[in-house]
Amino acid sequence: MNRATIRGCGMYVPERVVTNQDLEEMVDTSDEWITSRTGIKERHVVAPDESTSSMAITASQRALDDAGLETKDIDLVIVGTATPDYQFPATACLVQDSLGIEGGAFDLEAGCTSFVYALSIASAYVSSGMYRNVLVVGSESLSRILDWTDRSTCVLFGDGAGAVVVSAGPYSTFDPQFVLGSDGSGGKALCLPAGGSAMPASTETIGDRLHFIRMAGPEVFRFATRVVGDATRQVLDKAGLEIEDIDIFIPHQANTRIIDSAVRRVGIPEDRVFINIDRYGNTSSASIPIALYEARQQGKLKRGDTVVMVGFGAGLTWAAGAIQWGTHVELQRQEVPVQIEVVGVPV
Ligand code: UT7
């Protein structure tokens, strides 16, 4: 058996930043409410000529460069997204074609959990020896499906993409493990009601604003605080790891209160927990790979480190993964890139 590791990563966020103060001008909200209830200060929003695939392509190229690989080395592309460019063809095929990758490509949709689900598949393929290098991407243009008049959702989400290359690592000391979960009975708590086969687009669905995200926030909150802690414990058990073996814990960045509660329950030391929700909001399937990239840039990930990650979201779904950082290139500590100035608000 080979042991799958993460060999490199990359990210991309659009230039345009929307701050909480910008949102105060648009809906009945406040910086104080958003910050204290979620931890979010600002988020990035795609430009008119950008899309989920364009962000995925840039993040993927950066991940390939970081991994020291060329497109010919990639055997498979998996894109986790709830906001694909089209219902079909798959966004992964657009990435594959743009980068000139020769191999399979498919999208995976498990809400905000998509990245961890996709990573588990890549890990299984690499560990079995079926593929050598798999590109796994989380990319979302959530601003395109947000109701910018609904304060209960529009303040929460942001756009962006993160990508990793999964390869067998010569330095790995344990088999990567994953725990995947779902509870479809909670599906209505977080959904995009119209546009699928159950409720095709019509004048009525547009008039009723049914092509935007609908979320029962408190219900999802209660679900999330429970599953993050439980899934973390389960994946540690499965991998034969203890809390003190975690070098970095990367939770899905949906709400700092969810993260704090789970971290306290499981007993993970605060200095091992990576949080960057303040600058990006909830970027759904992109949040974990973006956090991985930033942790690496900040020198918080080195070869052989144990990464534990937990995702949760629409479905309802959840997933935890324990995998080693298997980079071939060590980075020096670098500062996080300087934030870009506010240039406007969505209309
Ligand atoms: O990644 C996908 C998974 N999604 C999540 O993880 C989201 C999970 N849920 C949450 O993070 C939280 O439930 C929210 C941040 C969405 C909401 O926080 P909350 O503490 O659960 O607030 P709430 O929904 O219970 O609302 C409390 C009050 C309400 O007013 P009343 O009824 O008490 O007068 C809301 O109308 O806050 C009001 N409110 C707002 N006020 C100012 C809701 N949104 C806003 C807002 N600004 N943006």
Atom of ligand 1 nearest to the CA of 257: 11
Tell me, yes or no, if 328 is annotated catalytic. Answer: no
Task: Give residues with Cβ within 8 angstroms of 42, minimum separation 6.
Answer: 17, 18, 19, 20, 278, 279, 280, 281, 339, 342
Among the residue ranges 26-35, 69-78, 171-180, the one predicted with the least confidence is 171-180
| Cα–Cα dist 128/260, whole Å | 36
Q: Which of 112, 133, 154, 276 is catalytic?
A: 112
Evaluate whether 23 touches 77 at the Cβ level (below 8 Å).
no
Residue 309 has pLDDT above 80, yes or no: yes
Look over the chain and give the mean of its residue pLDDT values, rounded to a whole number: 93
- Give 152 Cα–ligand 1 centroid separation in angstroms: 6
Tell me, yes or no, if 282 is annotated catalytic. Answer: yes
- Give 217 Cα–ligand 1 centroid separation in angstroms: 6
Evaluate whether 344 touches 26 at the Cβ level (below 8 Å).
no
Atom of ligand 1 nearest to the CA of 252: 1
pLDDT given at position 333: 45
- Give 286 Cα–ligand 1 centroid separation in angstroms: 22
Q: Which of 30, 221, 282, 283 to mutate to test the pocket of ligand 1 (most atoms within 8 A of CB)?
A: 221
Tens digit of each residue's pLDDT (9 = 90 or more) over 258-294: 999 999 999 999 999 999 999 999 999 999 999 999 9
User: Angle of helix 31-38 relative to helix 256-266, nearest 10 degrees?
Assistant: 20
| Cα–Cα dist 109/301, whole Å | 28
Residue among 264, 29, 317 nearest 156 (CA): 29
Q: pTM (2 decimals)?
A: 0.94
Tens digit of each residue's pLDDT (9 = 90 or more) over 160-198: 999 999 998 877 788 999 999 999 999 999 999 999 999
Residue 233 has pLDDT above 50, yes or no: yes
**Of all protein residues, whose CA lies closest to atom 38 belonging to ligand 1?**
152
* CA torsion through residues 167, 67, 324, 14, sign: negative
Give the CA count within 13 Å in the CB-facing half-sphere of 329: 13
Tell me, yes or no, if 255 is annotated catalytic. Answer: no
**Of all protein residues, whose CA lies closest to atom 43 belonging to ligand 1?**
152
Residue 242 has pLDDT above 50, yes or no: yes
